[in-house]
Every structure is written in C-alpha cells, then in structure tokens.
Amino acid sequence: ATGEYVDMLEAGIIDPLKVARVALQNATSVASLLLTTEATVSDIQEAPTPMPDMPSMSNMPGMGM
C-alpha cells in the first residue's frame, strides 16, 4: 500500500464487482447448458452384495449349547 492514486485497470487491479458478475454469468451459462441437454449420463449403481454369515461357533471348546 503506497497510498498513491492509479488507474486500476492500467495497474492490473480488477474490480471485484466485475469478477462477481463474470462468475455469476458463467454459473448461469453452465446451469442453462445442463437444463437444455434434458438428460445427463451417469453410471447405474449395482446393489451391494450381502456379507456372508459368520461360521458357527458351536464346535469351539466351551461354546457348545
């Protein structure tokens, strides 16, 4: 911060409002592009395979019933 007045565009300082406006325009463009495609491609999720049952513990010493 030198305290001197400069032309912000010549000094390479971009106005934050302009940055926000361009970001909003780009976001709107992407959103409208997704809406106009009417469909998106995605992978079909497969059902998870169930875990196998635990083996019986009845043949262990002290576990018989």
- The dihedral sign for the CA sequence 28, 30, 36, 42: negative
pLDDT for 38 equals 66
Residue 64 has a pLDDT of: 56
Q: In this predicted model, what pLDDT tens digit does every residue of 6-61 receive, in sequence order?
A: 988 888 887 788 888 999 999 999 998 888 776 667 788 888 888 888 877 677 67
The residue that leads in pLDDT, 59 or 65, is 59
pLDDT in the model for residue 5 = 92
Cβ atoms of 58 and 64 within 8 Å: the answer is: yes
Domain ranges of the chain: 1-37
21 to 12, 27, 51: CA distances (angstroms): 18, 10, 52
Res 54: pLDDT: 80
